[in-house]
Chain A
């Protein structure tokens, strides 16, 4: 067991197979894993690292090398898909991640105006090329590719509040837009897997139970994430992250087609585990704490997450760019140490 590689540990933990300890990862995408300190250290700063595959790969590689998370995770934002389909994006700076400035559609009825996502162009290609570079490096560190969830992507192509209203008032049009999202996200996801991604993580910051309520969560978030995941069946590991409080949709979570379910810091790991005994549960270290609290506190939060049954230890959301490297290192070190002490106690 001592020789298990980070990749095999993640693959095993995701399938709920016996492992020496939980992996400590951060998937990337909406769950951004990088921050200024590592950007400066690696000389791969934002915004350049969003558009240059060498720098994108270099940045996530550097974080792992520095004793950070036990994975590579890219991209570092949730705008690649929307931009490829026609949204105008501000790439941000060293502090701010890229964000959509203008939605191209006034209504989901205008889905025909969107551009098909081209995996050989723009930042979609940057992501694919960066995955290839990481794969070519030949390390035993798992590569996690990311997709912005179908509801969240649609909600940047049409203003989110219009989309939410149309979910109720114009379901036929909204469903057509969502189907367009799935077709194009599948292309991007498949290209990531072919390039060498070991896991695909889909994050839904907008299509949440808190925002939609149980009925629309089932009709939109669940339905289209599952269509997407069904089409990405080649992904060795499938991760779904849903932001926010889940209470109103706990009963729906088991229906997600995924190996790993990742939760926000407000969700009790032991509570969600009761609903999904067959899935690995990932989470959920508070990202604000990671940004501002001393390492001792981070160690405590990490131990707590493990004690509550985290199969995979991860931040609860995307990291702030002001997060100190020491806190991420502490999270990883604590995961390793805590599991060793637990094993000693249980007499292994």
Chain B
């Protein structure tokens, strides 16, 4: 039997090492040994994803590697989460995310979702090719703190500016932060359309949202 510290390291190593099958065994062993599930999530799985993010920033990892790491993390979460003590007493910041209408490229959006989830935010994913009004409706419905949009095509990116106008018309623009991203999008573009923030990749997106929320990330969900 491996002890808790060893198993936490295995969980983390499985995620960063893209072991999306071995992570399940490790998670099961961890639960069978009676160790606390939430600690396994925080100090094992999420830690591994943070390490993967560092490797991405160092250009050791690219998108395929991050995607396999996140599969490993979710496979581990599927084992640990049912055993995790309820930590939702603290209100999490809520984020609506989606790819704007006309565009079905969603890898970037999915990675942003994964990294924000790892950091403890509550994500409402509208998917891709999302009708613009849906961003507004969902933001109202869940009382969102952040609306995150992406567009990977220069033909569809103007939809993000439309959503900002629609949020204004709906009278909730000052209640939400709007962040945008995607290959043809730049910081200058984000500023021009009146967004609150832009990030070039999923790792930066977490830092951006933390900053906009004035974050004390330690109080948020599963963040370490």
- Closest Cβ of chain A: how far from B199's Cβ, in Å? 14
Taking the complex as formed, is B36 at the interface, i.e. its CB lies under 8 A from any CB of chain A? no
Sorted nearest first, the 9 A-B pairs with minimum C-beta distance are A213-B62, A96-B102, A164-B64, A287-B154, A211-B63, A97-B155, A161-B107, A317-B154, A320-B154
Does A248 sit at the interface, judged by CB under 8 A?
A: yes
Contacts of A92 in B (CB 8 A): 102
**Which residues, 159 to 216 on A, are CB-close (under 8 Å) to B?**
160-161, 164-165, 167-169, 205-206, 210-213, 216
B156 touches which of A96, A165, A169 (Cβ 8 Å): A96
Interface residues on A, range: 35 or more
Residue B59 interfacial (CB < 8 Å) = yes
Q: Are A317 and B102 in contact (CB-based, < 8 A)?
A: no
> Which chain A residues in 97-119 approach chain B with CB under 8 Å?
97, 99-101
For B63, the closest partner residue in chain A by CB is A211
Chain A interface (Cβ < 8 Å from any Cβ of B):
32, 90, 92, 95-97, 99-101, 160-161, 164-165, 167-169, 205-206, 210-213, 216, 243-244, 248, 287-288, 291-292, 317-322
A288 to B102, Cβ gap below 8 A?
Answer: no
Number of interface residues of B (CB under 8 A): 31
- The yes or no answer to B125 lying at the interface (CB within 8 A) is no
Q: Contacting chain A: which of B37-45, B65-73, B213-221?
A: B65-73
A-B contact pairs, 21 of them (CB 8 A): A96-B156, A97-B155, A99-B103, A99-B104, A99-B129, A101-B129, A161-B106, A164-B63, A165-B67, A165-B68, A205-B183, A212-B62, A212-B64, A213-B62, A213-B63, A216-B62, A288-B189, A292-B192, A318-B155, A320-B155, A320-B158
- Taking a contact as CB atoms under 8 Å apart, the answer to whether B183 and A243 are in contact is yes
| B152 to chain A: closest residue by CB | A205
Interface residue B184 (Cβ < 8 Å from any Cβ of A): yes
The answer to whether B102 and A213 touch across the interface, beta carbons within 8 angstroms, is no
On chain B, the residues within 8 Å of A160 by CB distance are 105, 107
Alpha-carbon separation in the docked complex, A288 to B157 (Å): 9
In the bound complex, residues from chain B placing their C-beta under 8 Å from that of A161 are: 67, 106-107, 110
CA distance A291 to B192 in the complex (A): 13
Q: Per DSSP, are chain B's interface residues mostly helix, strand or loop, or mixed?
A: loop
Q: Are B104 and A100 in contact (CB under 8 A)?
A: yes
Bound CA span A211–B64, Å: 8
Q: Which residues of A contact B110 (CB under 8 A)?
A: 161
Q: In the complex, are the beta carbons of A288 and B154 less than 8 A apart?
A: yes
Chain B 171-185: CB-based contact to A (< 8 A → 1; otherwise 0) = 000000000000110
Contact status of A321 and B155, CB under 8 A, knowing A97-B102, A212-B62, A212-B63 = yes
Q: How far is the CA of A170 from the CA of B103 in the complex (A)?
A: 28
Chain B residue nearest in CB terms to A208: B183
A91 to chain B, nearest CB (A): 11
Task: Determine how close the nearest CB of chain A comes to the CB of B153; give it in whole angstroms.
Answer: 7
Complex CA distance for A212 and B156, rounded to whole angstroms? 24
A97: which of B18, B71, B153 is its contact (CB, 8 Å)? B153
Give the residue name and chain of the B residue nearest to A292 (CB). Answer: B192
- What CA separation (Å) do A216 and B184 show in the bound complex? 23
Given contacts A164-B67, A216-B62, 13 further A-B contacts (CB under 8 A): A95-B155, A97-B155, A164-B63, A167-B64, A168-B18, A168-B64, A168-B68, A206-B105, A211-B107, A213-B59, A288-B157, A318-B154, A318-B155
Q: How far is the CA of A164 from the CA of B70 in the complex (A)?
A: 13
Which one of A167, A291, A320 has the greatest number of beta carbons of chain B within 10 Å?
Answer: A320
Residues of the B chain whose Cβ atoms lie less than 8 Å from the Cβ of A165 = 64, 67-68, 71
